[in-house]
Structure 1
Amino acid sequence: MSSEQAPTKGQLAPVIRATDHNGTLVDTESVRGQRPVVVFFFPRAFTVGCTREACAFRDSYSAFETLNAMVVGVSADSPQVLREFAQQHKLPFHLVSDTDGSLRKLFQVPRSLFGLLSGRVTYVIGRSGRILDIFNSQLSWTEHVNVAKKAIAAEEAAT
């Protein structure tokens, strides 16, 4: 996939290889063929919408565990801010700092609201590494979770 082309449903997802807020390596390629992955890009930790979205993923985390899915949140916040965000809200999943914007560029996450805000986009990646669904909504914070659960459950039911 060229760096100018946004990933689409059915394509192999770009690989994330980064360190999370706890210093743990997150390597989505290493789980390909074994488990689904949900990657949600959010603008900023501690803002109302991002907190609601992250807490919605937290509150549904047991469902993602049941589906054997890895959940990864990505924002431009520093690792320290993400560590504090995870601690304060008891977030059980990986949070990856993308201060240089390289992951947003890799996934071609668009900016929103006249280019002023980093986009809020969730990529649901199946066991095969192919994108099952993409949900792009700046304001439907909790719907990102619903879309991800439905896409993974549908893939699991089909196998």
Structure 2
Amino acid sequence: MVTTGDAAPDFTAPLANGDIEAFTLSDRLDDEAPVVLAFFPGAFTSVCTSEMCAFQDRLAAFNDLDATVYGVSRDSPFTLNEFREQNDLEFGLLSDYNKEVTDDYGIAMDFADLGVHGVSKRSVFVVDGDGRIAYSWVSDDPGVEPDYDEIEAAVEDLS
């Protein structure tokens, strides 16, 4: 699992932003860093919806710090666009449909009793302009949301 101080694994994934386009982390760092990558297990679930809506509620604060927020899940980009629309999310969601990003970041988990395997643990990584992990938080409990004040403070420390 990557942690604070590590190089952020680079990746390319579909970006659901109302449309669908390719997103490559390293290509975005010059203009968008710090980048907040908020991994969540699945769209349209209660805690994940609450988390993404909490990021939406704090989006102005992240924008004021010149940070860019992205949600990341194993859902398809089409599902993520519908999730964005239904929850009025103004930030992009990245589809890790093939589980490559989840594996590269070392945060896969299973809900074996439900037959669901390889979803992302609820995790947040802040990537600085040099492509390093400036902040990391990973939960083994999918029902726990991150400390949003702590994430915002980590972003503010980069300014």
* CA distance 1:142–1:122, change in 2 (3 Å): closer
The percentage of counterpart residues that share the same residue type is 32
- Note the C-alpha offset of 1:47: 0.5
- Note the C-alpha offset of 1:97: 1.3
Match of 1:71 in 2: 69
Superposition misfits of 4+ residues, deviation over 4 angstroms: 112-117
Matched residue SS, 1:20: strand
In the TM superposition, 1:55-134 aligns within 5 A as 55-111=53-109, 118=119, 119-134=121-136
- Note the C-alpha offset of 1:155: 2.0
**Mapped partners of 1:102, 1:25: distance in 2:** 15
**Mapped partners of 1:142, 1:8: distance in 2:** 15
Q: List runs of 5+ in structure 2 lacking aligned partners.
A: none
Corresponding letter in the other structure for 1:24: E
Match of 2:8 in 1: 13
Match of 1:3 in 2: none
- Note the C-alpha offset of 1:136: 1.4
**Mapped partners of 1:120, 1:68: distance in 2:** 24
1:24 to 21, 25, 30: 21
Q: Number of residues paired by the alignment? A: 150
Identify the structure with the greater strand proportion.
Answer: 2
2:124–2:146 CA contact under 8 A, matched in 1: no
Match of 2:144 in 1: 140
- Note the C-alpha offset of 1:61: 0.5
**Mapped partners of 1:103, 1:109: distance in 2:** 9
Please provide the CA RMSD for this pair. 2.0
1:76–1:98 CA contact under 8 A, matched in 2: yes
1:56–1:142 CA contact under 8 A, matched in 2: no
Matched residue SS, 1:10: coil
User: TM-score, normalising length from structure 1?
Assistant: 0.84
